Amino acid sequence: MKIGTMLRMGVICALALSLGAQGRVQAQESWHGSGSALSIPRSALMQPGQLNMMLAARDAGKPLVLQVGSHLLFQEAHISGAEYAGPASQDSGLGELRARVAPLPRSSPIVIYCGCCPWNRCPNIAPAYKLLRDMGFIRLKVLYLANNFGADWVDKGFPVERGE
């Protein structure tokens, strides 16, 4: 990854943490958990290589991939075919996510990801996971990005799109 991109991602992470701290207080009021990505069960996690293979397959069972973090990060680069669903650390982002998935059958395969920060500091992924589980989605997976989207997806050469 280029140094300029790494610096931008660091700024994005800091901004997401700052904004997330404001919205996370409100999001956690409705969630009686830690609000940490570490609270997501291992069985719900998906590795980047696994998602890449699933998206490259020619079958019709591809999941809906939703980015639930910073819009700036989404514009910089996102998983090919992913949709932006709002920053889940904020009530407005949870509202966008809820509206996007509300009409879907609860058996729809969905993968959510953020990648703004190291996994244990992400303010977005746990509230998004909690919302979708509470809505009854049974084929929900969370993309495990240990470091960030750049290091764990882009630098591995997996397909990305840029812009909206």
What does the pLDDT read at residue 29?
A: 34
Cα(140)–Cα(63) distance, integer angstroms: 9
Domains identified in the chain and CATH numbers = 3-161 (3.40.250.10)
What does the pLDDT read at residue 36?
A: 84
Q: Which residue has the tokens 């901004």?
A: 15
What does the pLDDT read at residue 2?
A: 53
* Phi, psi angle pair for 45, to nearest 5°: -85, 150
What does the pLDDT read at residue 145?
A: 97
What does the pLDDT read at residue 33?
A: 44
Give the sign of the dihedral formed by CA 136, CA 63, CA 118, CA 48: positive
What does the pLDDT read at residue 164?
A: 77
Do the Cβ atoms of 97 and 88 come closer than 8 Å?
A: yes
Nearest CA among 17, 58, 53, 19 for reference residue 36: 17
Alpha-helical regions (H) of 2-115? 3-29, 48-56, 71-76, 91-101
When computed from its CA atoms, the radius of gyration of the chain, rounded to whole angstroms, is 15
| 83: Cβ contacts below 8 Å, ≥ 6 apart | 64, 65, 66, 67, 100
pTM of the model: 0.79
Q: Which residues of the chain have pLDDT under 50?
A: 3, 6-7, 10-34
